[in-house]
Amino acid sequence: MPHKVPLMPKAGRPHPSVGFSLSQLGLATSRGFAELVGTLGLEPRQFAVLRAAAQSAGQPQQALAERLGIPASTMVGLLDGLEHAGLVHRRRAGTDRRVHTIELTERGAGVLHEAMALAEAREAQLCAGLSAAERRALLGLLARVAANLGIEPEQLPDRGEGHRAP
Amino acid sequence: MPHKVPLMPKAGRPHPSVGFSLSQLGLATSRGFAELVGTLGLEPRQFAVLRAAAQSAGQPQQALAERLGIPASTMVGLLDGLEHAGLVHRRRAGTDRRVHTIELTERGAGVLHEAMALAEAREAQLCAGLSAAERRALLGLLARVAANLGIEPEQLPDRGEGHRAP
DNA sequence: TATTGTTATACTCTATAACTATA
DNA sequence: TATAGTTATAGAGTATAACAATA
């Protein structure tokens, strides 16, 4: 959450606004998700790293960083944690001994699996009481708002660089 | 964190999830809002303070802090900025000379007005292409998700890092 | 000389706790 | 003694820049 944390108006309560609701819910969901994967000893970005590493094994650590929009120096610490927990493996590439390729350990794959299950359960909790059609409608409307903002569907939340992002 | 900035998965792209979409859009909207009011020299929480102060003049500074969920020590800096910009006025209460009551200056009211106009324009941009009925539907669905999370409609995003060390 | 990963530095933000002045 | 506001200190988190090994 983090978005740095964004705080928006309140009070007046003339009408609820989409912007305020999204800001409020976005913070709550990401915070809740962080807590959830925290029970597995992961922080959200480590979960993202596990997923990305699982998609194709043996990626250089810098490739992962770039793909997730995480600075290389930050990636070091994230991987240190994952490696120390035995979830991931750094190996020097034979072709270029400067690069470290990343692979999930068996245990790492297991934890990733658990984390995905938690995420699914969380999704179900968020959407409790919504019919399948309503959930689809919500996703569709959110996608249209995202399009208005120029956000591509796959794009990571991406912590802004220099700008203040509360 | 945006925030702790919460970062969520990506990649796999089996189906988009409500949780991920909200996290992504929430960060984008709050960041965009921060940039927007930034053009007026405000940060988001200062905008919130102006709104709250406008609702009823002469509130003690601590009342504002509590109402917005902002720590008293943080409120000091926010008000310092607002006062220095001539948007707000600290006055010692006659009844209890310890309390500082806060009032908007004429200029503060003007800036608040501008900021609200910006926020409205932003809302329109977010909802571009949505019919009135679709926007209502979106707000309704978001409210139901919020209810599932136990969030009250009025509640501020609330950065509360809450569970720190006692 | 350029590049991969690492470490070190500096900066931003925030909260906790000390401090003052009133009560 | 307790409270409103202020200031100071310390902690977490991050990005930028220097660094070592390899190319």
What pTM was estimated for this model as a whole?
0.85
Alpha carbon A28 to its chain's center: 14
- By C-alpha distance, the chain A residue nearest B125 is A148
Cβ separation B21–A137 shorter than 8 A: no
Cβ separation A48–B8 shorter than 8 A: yes
| Token pair listed for B103 | 């009032």
A162 touches strand D (CB under 7 A): yes
Contact of A2 with B6, CB cutoff 8 Å: yes
Which chain B residues are Cβ-neighbours of A22 within 8 angstroms?
Answer: 22, 25-26, 29, 126, 142
Q: From edge to edge, which strands make up the β-sheet containing A88-92?
A: A59-60, A100-104, A88-92
pLDDT for res A15: 63
Angle of the A18-38 helix axis to the B18-38 helix axis, nearest 10? 130
Task: Label residues A68-94 b or e (16+ Cβ within 10 Å = b).
Answer: bbbeeeebeebbebbeebebbbeeeee
pLDDT digits (tens, 9 = 90+) for A5-56: 334 444 444 568 999 999 999 999 999 999 999 999 999 999 999 999 999 9
Q: How far is CA B129 from CA A124, B133, B162, in A?
A: 29, 11, 39
Q: CA–CA separation, B96 vs B92, rounded Å?
A: 8
B4 touches strand C (CB under 7 A): no
Report the residue from A44, A126, A141 with minimal CB separation from B6: A44
* B21 Cβ under 8 Å from any chain A Cβ: yes
Whole-number mean pLDDT of chain A?
86
pLDDT at B9 over 70: no
pLDDT digits (tens, 9 = 90+) for A96-108: 999 999 999 999 9
Cβ separation A16–B127 shorter than 8 A: no
From B3, B1, B82, select the one nearest B43 (Cα to Cα).
B82
pLDDT for res A64: 95
A164 touches strand D (CB under 7 A): no
| Token pair listed for B151 | 């969030």
